[in-house]
Amino acid sequence: MSEMSEMSGGNGGTARTRLSVLKTYKLFVGGKFPRSESGRVYEVTDTRGRWLANAPLASRKDARDAVVAARKAFGPWSGATAYNRGQILYRIAEMLEGRREQFTAEVAAAEGLSRAKAAARVDAAVDRWVWYAGWSDKIAQVAGGANPVAGPYLNLSTPEPTGVVAVLAPRESAFLGLVSVLAPVIVTGNTAVVVTSERAPLPALSLAEVLATSDLPGGVVNILSGRTAELAAPLAAHQDVNAIDLAGADDAGLARELEAAAAENLKRVLRPADGGADWSADPGTGRMLAFLETKTVWHPVGV
């Protein structure tokens, strides 16, 4: 089959039309873009059932590989200065702003929104990256401080990242909701394994392209698309996952199963909001504090 098709032109010549170059979506693990190790894909449709693309159907092996990558990245990322992490989050916002039209089109198709409403959600997602970037070197003052003690001691508490966090992205609000659960995890020094919205994974998979070129070290964020229940189960039970955000576990039965699996190694579990979350609302500091541990140091003082 020829690469180009020909049509008769009005002046007796021929006009050429290009064939569509369809985008190949891939996973994002360790800073690279592998296909699923199983080679599987699944069809993604818009809200009217029209085909949009084939997304990789990640396997349990892909989930385990993502945890390995996240653990490897945790030491350097948690050891980076808060100021540096804030710079990188701001860079992500800059790059999203430059690709605003692409993400507006993807969000409109994925969520069945008008172009104006989709653009507003993309703008809100960009603003959210900037908002969290500003918190990078301030959250320690909110979560830590000097504690009053009775005796000749100085007692200081400081927050530290929990470790590797599995994040189930919200089923709805596939882009703004995703940013709202991912940014607070990494700004505080954690690394993340994200399971995208099963119904609308494409904005998240495109976000991976931004992350890969935004100075974010490989492995800090790993993005898997596929069946939420199939991927969440091994992540919840994984002994090297320290916490899990169940925002995307909108089925009560699934949420209970994942909590039970997470209890095997005392993970921190952030439960989904009753009735769903309003991702357009002021996010506050709750999601940052959810994945921080408190380290307290005692030191004698002279009397």
Judge residue 151's burial from the number of C-beta atoms within 10 Å of its C-beta, 0-12 exposed, 13-18 middle, 19 or more buried. exposed
Q: Which CATH architecture has domain 25-300?
A: 3-Layer(aba) Sandwich (3.40)
Tokens at 75, concatenated: 């030491």
- What is the token pair recorded at 27? 């996973």
Could you give the percent of the chain with pLDDT greater than 90? 74
The string of pLDDT tens digits covering residues 177-202 is 999 999 999 999 999 999 999 999 99
Cα–Cα distance measured from residue 190 to residue 211, given in angstroms and rounded to the nearest whole number: 15
Can you name the residues that pair with 158 across neighbouring β-strands?
295
What is the per-residue DSSP string for 67-83?
HHHHHHHHHHHHHS-HH
Closest CA to 202 of 50, 100, 55: 55
Average pLDDT, the chain: 91
Provide the pLDDT for residue 145: 74
Query: Do residues 140 and 278 lie in contact, with contact meaning Cβ atoms separated by under 8 Å?
Result: no
For 212-249, write each residue's pLDDT tens digit.
Answer: 999 999 999 999 999 999 999 999 999 999 999 999 99
The pLDDT tens digits of the residues spanning 22-65 come to 888 999 999 999 999 889 999 999 888 999 999 999 999 999 99
Instruction: Delimit the domains of the chain by residue range.
Output: 25-300
Q: Is the pLDDT of residue 292 over 90?
A: yes
Which of the four pLDDT bands, split at 50, 70 and 90, describes residue 144?
Answer: confident
| pLDDT over 90 (residue 174) | no
Matching residue, tokens 């994974």: 201
5 band by pLDDT with thresholds 50, 70 and 90? very low
Q: Is the pTM of this model over 0.75?
A: yes
Q: What count of residues does the chain have?
A: 303
Q: 10 Å Cβ neighbour count for 46?
A: 15
d(CA 234, CA 273): 22
Largest CA distance in the chain: 100
Read out DSSP for 210-272?
HHHTTTPPTTSEEEE-S-HHHHHHHHHH-TT--EEE-TT--SHHHHHHHHHHHGGGT-EEEPP
The pLDDT value recorded for residue 220 is 98
Q: pLDDT by residue (tens digit) across 83-121? A: 999 999 999 999 999 999 999 999 999 999 999 999 999
Across the beta sheet with 145-147, what order do the strands follow? 145-147, 153-161, 292-300
Structure tokens at 147: 């504690």
Angle CA(170)–CA(172)–CA(175) in degrees, nearest 5? 75
CA–CA distance, 280 with 263 (Å, rounded to integer):
31
Distance CA 104, CA 114 (A): 10
CA angle 214, 217, 220 (to 5 degrees): 110
Mean pLDDT of 144-150: 78
